[in-house]
A and B are shown apart, each in its own frame.
Chain A
């Protein structure tokens, strides 16, 4: 590997981080617009989240009385961990310099590090809403983690590795594995946990205005101004990178190789943008037709996804045995 190809990998990684930073609010805006149109409203336009962020960033920074540095730094930790995940994942190209530094277990760990930072911030405020949101969020996170790790396991069986580049290139080389029962079950399981982890319907309603039904929003109720901007930005980025991860795990076409040319990087960028936009559109359209679940029905949903993930692993094990 010479310096030029390393530079190309670095350039692709930088580009994908920038694309996530710039594109995440647009994805959120697009989802809101799809919902608005389907519900017969005009909607605020795709650029509305960006306009909101600009407004929030210009506002005065407010520190709620009695909070500690945990509250102050939690948004930066969430946003930072998400940026790092965006740099690790193979979104545009396979050759991220960080790929061998963190496998899928590491990515899941970083994701939870962000969740933990926000739940601690919710508790730090010392309000009933903050504690309520944190308690709910951490309960869902605790139940989501087993499913994510099992789905990771199922996906790492064909590539014999939990490193993302290995998984994605194994799928790209043997597309037949996508229709295997293990892969399909893992897809459904992962879809459910991504919905739960990013706080979408039917687990959480991101546009609710009633504190008692909130999960994520209750936890960040005390944030205002620039910190709120960071929290919103980060949650948009989390949604984007998770959708991107799912897109490339199951539909890896268009992704540039480990030593990409400029054209390959551009194709990769267009491909991932289209994939994430389509997934986000489908998710938003689906949300129109479902209501939020009662909080204590959510564990049933997550237990179902856990079972699917377990079946996925077992199926992929026996499937691998049959072909080898």
Chain B
């Protein structure tokens, strides 16, 4: 943390000179270098990932890099899946950042850190031993922290960075402890050795490792209640970094859970799957509820990440729970849903954060209450955000639909003969998923409708200009990925099949769903064809347009007319619904959960108390989990630190006495 700060202060905080000067030429060169390197790393990641998914696993050992243990890489299909996903996100972000870094005048240090962050993320799933894994994990955490602090001259960024630093290090401590215990019990440092000896690990150790990894990896994935860093760090980080963090880094938390708890120790007792499902469902519902009332565009997207990670964890939990009951067919279905949701979330969240970044670069605004009317000023970005929002809302034609459909199918097809636990869990999970989808639609309609449609609510929004070509290209790549997930999931079928086979602890030898032109579930009744629905919908819309032309020849030419203003002259943009007012009914309905702090202040005229001079409305939506759980802990730590502080008042005599006392105690014990 302190090292990052000193390093950042060395770099110039002032904006780079204007376009045209030699310095700006150099800035462009550096941006191209950084973006090009990021894209190249991403391409290598995709190639490497696909090669191990379809080919033989790769091993690499560099003995001299770390004393005693060395660095071991061991990339199998599961790791390859995450490497490929991270690589794909990096390709889009790398191209995007060329334009973005120039518009936002990124300092050299951040440009240098970006490829390093991507490299660290590619190394995490490739790590073949506990030491290498921890090293890569910490490298990833440190690089992302430095990137979050890019705009460190703003106070909110520093505060978010501090929050993130503490939480990521606490998570790291939990993972460290878990992996050390695991490697001691598994008699080895390499994951392969541990997996070979996993049968001999005692139940107590397994439980400890499961709980600790759930905590550590869960905090990285943004699961409740360890999600608090996410809605702080993601909005304050520069948007390409938010995209990398939200679409690639949080996946590493899921990777850790799958690798350690499912692949090596899985499927575990029934309560493991149940715990994962409970935390997943809570995160999904809480995340989407916060997203639906958020007014900061990037904060909304960050909470939507918590929501999606919750859904993925729910699917993962369902897969392990069903596996532990021997329902391999349905478990394979749930696992495929989890894998597909990871990929589709990466695609639409990359796109959403990149589009939010181009709005931020064009207007300097993240507040939906001040945005609006961007559809006319930035049509390209509007279309891109629309594709991302459709994907995030889980509707047909959107990227998230197929994954959610598979998840729902696995929940409704779970066997329930004489099993009270499954008979209670599965309906409740369907309820949670359905509530999540419903509120997710509301959140995304708000983000797109209020932010991009209607009329501009501020001068900055009405003066927005479209993003440059490199940024549009980066977004277009992510949009193309979204289209594949929405319309032709058949392209992903071989990848998912191979990865599913690499995790035999869930699903066993059962084949996953067939993602052809029709999605079919082997052994279960149910099918769906997203491509056919899209084609049929297109035809149906054309028919509807044709019906509306009936009698069109006798119709007068169409005209533009002013909006209905109840007979008044004209409407001002201030009369529109804002994001706050749009979400107000939901805020009221979920009053008990959200606990908003609302204040209405009415000022009367001095002459008469029947005439109102002005009404002030103020509402503050703090994260209730943060208020209830984090504040007491922070307060306790502060109080405790105050006590400890009394012990070192600065007196050298006292410190000498401590030294002598310490030495005496050591001597007495050592004797």
**A interface, CB within 8 angstroms of B:** 21, 54, 57-66, 68, 70, 73, 75-77, 79-81, 83-84, 87, 98, 100-103, 105-106, 109-110, 112-113, 116, 119-120, 123-132, 134-136, 138-139, 141-150, 153, 156-157, 159-163, 166, 211, 221-222, 225-227, 229-230, 233-234, 295-296, 299, 306, 310, 313-314, 317-318, 320-321, 324
Contact = CB atoms under 8 A, between A and B. Distances in A.
Nearest to A317: B423
A102 B529 contact: yes
Given A142-B292, A227-B548, A60 B588 contact: no
B526 A103 contact: yes
A146 B434 contact: yes
A306 B441 contact: no
Interface of B: 292, 372-373, 375-376, 393-397, 401, 405, 408-409, 411-413, 416-418, 423-424, 426-428, 430-431, 433-435, 437-439, 441-442, 445-446, 448-450, 453-455, 518, 524-529, 532-533, 536-537, 540-545, 547-552, 554-566, 571, 573, 575-577, 581-586, 588-589
Contacts of B552: 57, 226
B563 A110 contact: no
Given A75-B548, A144-B438, A296-B588, 17 more contacts: A58-B551, A79-B548, A81-B537, A83-B543, A105-B409, A109-B401, A126-B571, A138-B441, A138-B445, A138-B446, A139-B585, A142-B441, A153-B412, A161-B524, A229-B548, A230-B547, A295-B585
A223 B548 CA distance: 13
A292 to B, nearest CB: 16
Nearest to B418: A321
B423 A166 contact: no
Given A110-B396, A135-B581, A163-B527, A116 B445 contact: yes
A318 B422 CA distance: 11
Given A70-B375, A143-B589, A153-B412, A123 B541 contact: no
A125 B454 contact: yes
A103 B564 contact: no
A116 B393 contact: yes
Given A79-B547, A126-B563, A126-B576, A113 B396 contact: yes
B528 A103 contact: yes
B509 to A, nearest CB: 23
A298 B409 CA distance: 30
Contacts of B394: 109
- Chain A CB count within 10 A is highest, among B393, B427, B526, for B427
Given A134-B445, A314-B427, A127 B563 contact: yes
Contact of B441 (A76, A106, A112): A112
Contact of B555 (A58, A73, A139): A58
A15 B529 CA distance: 23
Contacts of A106: 396, 405, 528, 533
B525 A321 contact: no
Contact of B395 (A63, A109, A146): A109
A62 B66 CA distance: 73
A101 B518 contact: yes
B559 A63 contact: yes
B431 A310 contact: yes
A136 B585 contact: yes
Contacts of B557: 60
B532 A116 contact: no
A154 B455 CA distance: 44
Given A66-B455, A135-B577, A144-B438, A100 B430 contact: no
B454 A124 contact: yes
Given A222-B563, A230-B547, A310-B427, A317 B576 contact: no
B416 A150 contact: no
A59 B552 CA distance: 9
A324 B419 CA distance: 13
Contacts of B564: 64, 127, 129, 221-222
A123 B577 contact: yes
24 contacts: A64-B561, A64-B564, A65-B561, A65-B562, A76-B541, A83-B543, A87-B540, A101-B527, A102-B396, A102-B533, A106-B528, A106-B533, A123-B582, A124-B449, A126-B455, A127-B564, A131-B581, A134-B582, A145-B435, A150-B430, A230-B544, A296-B585, A306-B431, A321-B418
Given A58-B551, A105-B408, A139-B585, A127 B545 contact: no
Given A60-B556, A100-B518, A127-B576, A160 B537 contact: no
A116 B540 contact: no
A183 to B, nearest CB: 15
A139 B586 contact: yes
Contact of B540 (A80, A102, A157): A80
Contacts of B412: 153, 156-157, 162
A207 B574 CA distance: 29
A126 B395 contact: no
Contacts of A116: 393, 395, 441, 445
Given A120-B449, A313-B430, A321 B562 contact: no
Contacts of A83: 540, 543-544
In order of increasing CB-CB distance, the 9 nearest A-B pairs are: A131-B577, A145-B438, A80-B541, A161-B525, A123-B449, A79-B544, A61-B558, A149-B434, A146-B434
A166 B577 contact: no
A137 to B, nearest CB: 9
Contact of A142 (B405, B416, B586): B586
Contacts of B537: 80-81, 84, 110, 113
Contacts of A146: 431, 434-435, 438
Contacts of A73: 541
Most buried by A among B435, B585, B586: B585
Nearest to B546: A76
A150 B548 contact: no
A308 B625 CA distance: 30
Nearest to A320: B416
Given A64-B563, A68-B376, A106-B396, A76 B548 contact: yes
A243 to B, nearest CB: 20
Contacts of B584: 135
Contacts of B542: 80
A77 B227 CA distance: 37
A70 B389 CA distance: 14
A58 B550 CA distance: 8
Most chain-A CB neighbours within 10 Å: which of B413, B551, B577? Answer: B577
Contacts of A211: 566
Nearest to A80: B541
Contacts of B454: 123-126, 131
A138 to B, nearest CB: 5
B522 to A, nearest CB: 14
A321 B558 contact: no
A62 B536 contact: no
A166 B525 contact: yes
A84 B558 contact: no
- Residue from A141, A153, A211, A222 having most chain B Cβ neighbours under 10 A: A153
Question: Which of A126, A149, A163, A230 gathers most chain B CB within 10 Å?
Answer: A126
A83 B544 CA distance: 8
A6 to B, nearest CB: 16
Contacts of B536: 84, 87, 98, 101
Contacts of B518: 100-101
A115 to B, nearest CB: 8
Nearest to B561: A62
A149 B442 contact: no
Contacts of B566: 211
Nearest to A54: B551
A139 B529 contact: no
B550 A64 contact: no
Given A60-B555, A134-B582, A149-B408, A128 B577 contact: yes
Nearest to A313: B427
A43 B408 CA distance: 46
A113 B544 contact: no
B453 A120 contact: yes
B551 A57 contact: yes
